[in-house]
Copies of this chain bind each other. A is one copy, B any other.
């Protein structure tokens, strides 16, 4: 028996945690559904395309993209294959490194993201920011950043 008697959550914490879990699940579901309905893109597709519109030439090394999105390389590869098949992006050789590859946005992909972005932003505003006061927006940012720090910190309580 390795009985850890954990520090259970108190009422306030439980309330926050339950609300957060529900909100998070419902919000992403809704954002995904609306994006899909408006533009035939999934949230994942959207993220990929956004990252490909920034850099000059609209192309990135594959693992560079994976790092930015925080995806596993395998997930990245599978997803890119599907997007290639749909004509949103294409693979390009990397002359400087024989094993490497670029992935680049196609005109069709650019058209897709440019059509999708305004509606998506509008959705985010309607579902999230319209509901929040400026103070709440700041609080959300701070809480998120604080938790991100916590996640990055190497602390993993040794067993």
Contacts and interface: CB of A to CB of B under 8 A. Distances in A.
B157 A131 contact: no
Contacts of A108: none
Interface residues of A, number: 54
Contacts of A4: 118-119, 122
Contact of A132 (B30, B125, B127, B146): B146
A26 to B, nearest CB: 5
B132 A143 contact: yes
Contacts of A97: none
A28 B20 CA distance: 11
A27 to B, nearest CB: 6
B16 A144 contact: yes
Contacts of A56: none
Nearest to A126: B157
Interface stretch (A59-67, A76-84, A88-96, A148-156): A148-156
Closest 7 CB pairs between A and B? A19-B144, A16-B141, A139-B139, A131-B150, A23-B144, A6-B122, A6-B118
